């Protein structure tokens, strides 16, 4: 009985699963204490055997019961400890997470729209799948005009096409409402082109102002665009260079002094000191004729949003704006 008390104490004093597993082998194992006692049975007489075996079985049962209950306690304690250490406090601060940001084209687009909305321009939309009339004909782009070339325009079979510019929205606006008009039309446009400075899809903002009382002048156009470009690019010089567009007469292209070299001449401005940023002009009378507007005058302008974004953020390759490379986008957070 003394031995039994000692063994039982040994079991109950185990502080963890490893310790009690060792005791299990010592007591209940093949070469353990109990197995040793059972071997002794063989050396006893029949008479002694009965008592000894009975005592041994009682002892075994007692040890097993103590073992099982202490083993269960230790297991429970182990689980509790594990639960405690693995507990997650959902209210704890999780550190800085990745923040999203506007794509530079979207951000530039927003900035342009905001500027003109503040000047009371309406924001107009038109379909991306256009027809020949709105995209070309009404804009005084006659049938043989090179802009209609299959090289530049995505045509569908049924005389529909993907708009090559946002200018058709001015036609739609004039056909659906009366002057005066002050509008911009932001949106995607499509051309069959792909290189360092061209992608098949890009974004433009078209602007149109039409007055039926009094006449708009080229001076009005120059003043509004000069303010706009200085708002976008900071303190740059703005100049207007005579140019040609079928839908405006006279037409001009606006340049800003090079924001990379300050006008001294560098690779970006091809050593001219100037960067071309938009097209504009006084609306050609043929355009007004196409929408049956009489006794009105107006000016229009059109710009490429990607070009603005590239200049503002000094991005050298237009195509990188559409590749979705996280390393580029992360820089605009
Ligand atoms: N639609 C022209 C283009 O895609 C841009 C443009 C130039 C629009 C002059 C205008 C304008 O309204 O007056 O290149």
pLDDT tens digits for 294-324? 999 999 999 999 999 999 998 878 888 998 8
If you measure from the C-alpha of residue 260 to the centroid of ligand 1, how many angstroms do you get, rounded to a whole number? 25
If you measure from the C-alpha of residue 33 to the centroid of ligand 1, how many angstroms do you get, rounded to a whole number? 100
If you measure from the C-alpha of residue 214 to the centroid of ligand 1, how many angstroms do you get, rounded to a whole number? 24
pTM above 0.85, yes or no: no
To test the ligand 1 pocket, which listed residue (145, 301, 303) has its Cβ within 8 A of the most ligand atoms? 301
27 pLDDT above the threshold of 90: yes
Q: Name 245's bridge partners.
A: 248
To test the ligand 1 pocket, which listed residue (165, 203, 308) has its Cβ within 8 A of the most ligand atoms? 165
Q: Please state which of the ranges 153-157, 274-278, 282-286 shows the lowest mean pLDDT.
A: 153-157
Region of 159 on the Ramachandran plot (φ > 0 left; ψ -120 to 50 alpha; else beta): left
146 pLDDT above the threshold of 80: no
Give the homologous superfamily in CATH for domain 104-332. Answer: Bira Bifunctional Protein; Domain 2 (3.30.930.10)
- What residue spans define the domains of the chain? 4-85, 104-332
Task: Look at the block and give the residue holding tokens 């107006």.
Answer: 298
Residue bearing the bigger pLDDT, 330 or 292: 292
Dump pLDDT digits (tens) for 110-143: 999 999 999 999 999 999 999 999 999 999 998 8
Q: In the structure, which protein residues have their CB atom closer than 6 angstroms to any atom of ligand 1?
A: 165, 167, 206, 245, 248, 279-281, 300-302
Q: How many CB atoms lie within 10 A of CB 227?
A: 13
User: Residues 178-198, buried b or exposed e (16+ Cβ, 10 A)?
Assistant: ebebbbbbbbebbbeeeeeee
> CB neighbours of 232 closer than 8 A, spacing ≥ 6?
111, 112, 115, 308, 312
- CA dist 209 and 298 (Å) reads 5
Q: Name 208's bridge partners.
A: 183, 300
Max Cα distance, the chain (Å):
135
What confidence category does residue 2 fall into, taking pLDDT thresholds of 50, 70 and 90?
low
Q: How many CB atoms lie within 10 A of CB 28?
A: 15
The ligand 1 atom nearest the CA atom of 303: 5
Two tokens, residue 270: 């091809």
1 pLDDT above the threshold of 50: no
């Amino acid at each position: 009985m003394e031995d039994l008390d000692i063994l039982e104490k040994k079991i109950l004093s185990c502080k963890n699963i490893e310790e009690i597993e060792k005791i299990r082998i010592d007591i209940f194992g093949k070469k353990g204490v109990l197995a040793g006692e059972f071997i002794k049975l063989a050396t006893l007489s029949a008479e002694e055997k009965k008592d000894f075996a009975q005592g041994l079985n009682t002892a075994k049962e007692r040890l097993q019961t103590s073992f099982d209950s202490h083993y269960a306690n230790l297991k429970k304690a182990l689980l509790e400890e594990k639960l405690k250490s693995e507990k997650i406090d959902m209210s704890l601060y999780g550190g800085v997470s990745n923040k999203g940001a506007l794509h530079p084209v979207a951000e530039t687009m927003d900035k342009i729209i905001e500027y003109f909305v503040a000047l009371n321009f309406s924001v107009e939309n038109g379909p991306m799948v256009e027809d020949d009339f709105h995209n070309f004909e009404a804009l005084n782009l006659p049938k043989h005009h090179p802009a209609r070339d299959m090289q530049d325009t995505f045509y569908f079979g049924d005389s529909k096409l993907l708009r090559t510019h946002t200018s058709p929205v001015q036609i739609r606006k004039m056909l659906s409402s009366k002057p005066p008009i002050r509008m911009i039309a932001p949106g995607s446009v499509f051309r069959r082109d792909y290189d360092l400075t061209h992608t098949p899809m890009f974004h433009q903002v078209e602007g149109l102002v039409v007055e039926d009382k009094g006449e708009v002048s080229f001076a009005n156009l120059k003043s509004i665009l000069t303010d706009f470009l200085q708002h976008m690019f900071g303190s740059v010089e703005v100049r207007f260079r005579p140019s040609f567009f079928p839908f405006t007469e006279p037409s001009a292209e606006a340049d800003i002094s090079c924001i990379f070299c300050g006008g001294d001449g560098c690779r970006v401005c091809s050593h001219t000191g100037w960067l071309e940023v938009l097209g504009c002009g006084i609306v050609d009378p043929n355009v007004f004729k196409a929408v049956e507007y009489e006794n009105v005058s107006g000016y229009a302008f059109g710009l490429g949003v990607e070009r603005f974004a590239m200049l503002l953020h000094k991005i050298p390759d237009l195509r990188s704006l559409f590749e979705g490379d996280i390393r580029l986008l992360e820089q605009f957070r």
